[in-house]
Structure formats: C-alpha cells, structure tokens
Amino acid sequence: MAARQRFLAVWKAHGITISSTERRLRSRCLSTGTGEKGRMSGSRVFWLYAMPVTAFCLGTWQVYRLRWKKRLVSDLERRTSQPPITLPENVLERLDELEYRRVELHGVFDHSRELYVWPRPLISDDVVPKGGRGRTGGALGGKGPQPGAFVITPFHCRETNGLILVNRGWVPRQQMHPSTRPEGQIEGEVALTAILRKTEKRLPFAPRNNADDSHWNCKDIDRMSQVAGTEPILVDADATTTVPGGPIGGQTRVNLRNEHLQYIITWYGLSLATFYLARQFMKGRMFR
C-alpha cells in the first residue's frame, strides 16, 4: 500500500488528475481488510483469536470434568468397599443413595423366567466357566474373549417381600439355555451378597431392546421387570454366589474411563499454539 501511495504522490507532483484511480486503489486496499496504517479489521482480529480462546475454554471445562470424575470414582470406591447391608424395603426410594452398595438378601430363584443380556464379555478373569482351559482375560481359552450373556433371574426376596431381578452372572453362548447347565439352577432358599444397580444406558447406535424376546442388549430395568413380572429392582450377585455349572458372579464393572487429563493437555496445547500463530501473524512475521 505504501508503494501505491508513493506512486500516486509522484503523479500528483506532475499535476496529473487521478482522483478516480486513487479512489479505486483506496477501495482495493480497504477490501483486503487493512486500513491506511496497515491495521486489520475488527472482524478478522476476532476470528484470528477465536480458536485459542475456544480451545482454552474447552481445556478449562475438562479441568472441571476431571475433578468431577475423581469425586465419582472416590464415591464408587467408598460404596463398594463398605460392608454389606440388609436390602431395605424402601430400596426404590433410596436407589440413588444406595447404588453400588453391597447388600445381603435371602430368597428363592424362579428359573422359569430367565432373561439374557447379550452379548457380554466375562468381566472377571479370576474364574473360568466349567470346561474352560485357563484364564485368558475373560475367555474360555483359545485366541480371544468368548462372547456370552448375563443371566437375569427373578428372585423371591424375603427382605422386600416381593420379586426382584438378580444378575446371577456370565455364561458362555453355548450355555445360555438353562437345559445346558441344570446343575447350576439352584433350588430352595439361598443367601446372596450383591451390588445394587440402576438402569444401564444404551450405547449410541446400539440395537434397541426387543420386549418380545428374552434377549436384551442393555439392562433396562423398568422394561425387564415388566416382562418378568417383578419390581424394578436389580442387583448384581457377587463372585461368592458362583456355583459349579452356574453363571459366574461378580460381573460389576466399577472402573470408569478417565481420559480428561489427556483432553486438558490437548486443548491447552492447542490454545497455546494457535495463540502464538495469531500473534506472529499480527506482527507480520508469517507469510512474507
């Protein structure tokens, strides 16, 4: 722009009328987003700094998310480590308070109305199903994890004086039908230690549950209880309830993914890098 102004000054010194040419040159300079002193327009400055500011805000949000996740993990560890309590009669009213608490209950299973949450991997690798060849991180042996299902069984609970749902544990796919594991269908009154659970959220893009089928994709306690004719209460039996030939208990996962620190580093790093680039651009040190 300075060169053009000097050029116009020479023309004026020789008395040449170039008002129309000067207007065109000035309008062209203004259209590039700079004033006569080479300053950028406000809108360009805004968009130049929008990225570092946005990245900084996202990084700060992840800091709060990290604190929230740590509090949640600490609360879960506290609940699961407490000694078991007797399942209270008003458990539905205290579900938020008691979720993940260990409870003791007594009653009788109704194996005629089993439900299956499928497919599911074996969470615990401390026990293998009957006929397994060794521990392989939740498999029966072989090259990888074997798909299976959680067996959800109605339970005549003495403490609530009604029917509830008990996740007895995991069985491999070939043992989903009760006829393949008759020795595991325990009869008579039993004492259980279990963990109280709430409805499981369906993963994005996962198939929806089919209420007409006994096979479910996620633990929708309300709908499962309607199908099985029980109260909307579900507990996960712990590993001590495992019997020979029966489902493997202890299928409660309490470890939560915590990747917020990685997100914090990513967003703050991106904010710093884009701020530096914006400053360099403003100083005219780039793309000369």
Specify whether 7 is located in the same domain as 122.
no
Range of the domain at 284: 42-83+257-288
Query: How confident is the model over 65-75, as pLDDT tens digits?
Result: 999 988 888 88
Average pLDDT over residues 88-101: 90
**Residues of the chain with pLDDT > 70: what percent?**
73
Specify whether 163 is located in the same domain as 216.
yes
92 lies in some domain: no
Domain count, the chain: 3
Specify whether 58 is located in the same domain as 159.
no
Specify whether 273 is located in the same domain as 149.
no
Question: Under a CB-based contact definition with an 8 Å cutoff, are residues 193 and 240 in contact?
Answer: yes
Specify whether 48 is located in the same domain as 74.
yes
89 lies in some domain: no
Specify whether 190 is located in the same domain as 217.
yes
Least confident among 104-118, 232-246, 252-266: 252-266
> What's at 162, amino acid-wise?
G
pLDDT band of residue 258 (cuts 50, 70, 90) is: confident
Question: Greatest CA separation found in the chain?
Answer: 114
Model's pTM, two decimal places?
A: 0.68
Average pLDDT over residues 39-67: 85
Specify whether 174 is located in the same domain as 190.
yes
**Res. 33: pLDDT tops 50:** no
Q: Which two tokens stand for residue 91?
A: 């458990």
> What's at 167, amino acid-wise?
N
246 lies in some domain: no
Task: Check residue 139 and give its pLDDT.
Answer: 33
Specify whether 105 is located in the same domain as 212.
yes
Question: Under a CB-based contact definition with an 8 Å cutoff, are residues 116 and 215 in contact?
Answer: yes
Q: Which residue has the tokens 């060794």?
A: 134
Specify whether 116 is located in the same domain as 229.
yes
198 lies in some domain: yes
Task: Check residue 125 and give its pLDDT.
Answer: 52
**Res. 42: pLDDT tops 90:** no
pLDDT band of residue 8 (cuts 50, 70, 90) is: low
DSSP string of 20-63, one letter each residue: HHHHHHHHHHHHTTB-TT-PBPHHHHHHHHHHHHHHHHHHHHHH
Q: How far lies 207's CA from each of 11, 65, 210, 267, in Å?
A: 77, 29, 9, 33
Average pLDDT over residues 115-128: 76
Q: Does a cis peptide bond (omega within 30 degrees of 0) precede residue 247?
A: no
Question: Under a CB-based contact definition with an 8 Å cutoff, are residues 195 and 102 in contact?
Answer: yes
Question: Under a CB-based contact definition with an 8 Å cutoff, are residues 216 and 228 in contact?
Answer: no
33 lies in some domain: yes
248 lies in some domain: no
Query: How confident is the model over 133-161, as pLDDT tens digits?
Result: 333 333 333 344 678 999 999 999 999 99
Which is more confidently placed, 274 or 42?
Answer: 274
> For residue 235, how many C-alpha atoms fall within 13 Å in the half-sphere facing its CB?
31
Q: Which residue has the tokens 């993940």?
A: 100
Q: Which helix (H) or strand (E) holds 245?
A: none
114 lies in some domain: yes
Question: Under a CB-based contact definition with an 8 Å cutoff, are residues 166 and 238 in contact?
Answer: no
Specify whether 184 is located in the same domain as 155.
yes
24 lies in some domain: yes
Average pLDDT over residues 31-57: 71
d(CA 70, CA 68): 5
**Res. 111: pLDDT tops 60:** yes
Specify whether 34 is located in the same domain as 55.
no
Average pLDDT over residues 4-17: 57
Query: How confident is the model over 165-222, as pLDDT tens digits?
Result: 999 999 999 999 999 999 999 999 999 999 999 988 777 767 777 766 678 888 999 9
Specify whether 150 is located in the same domain as 124.
yes
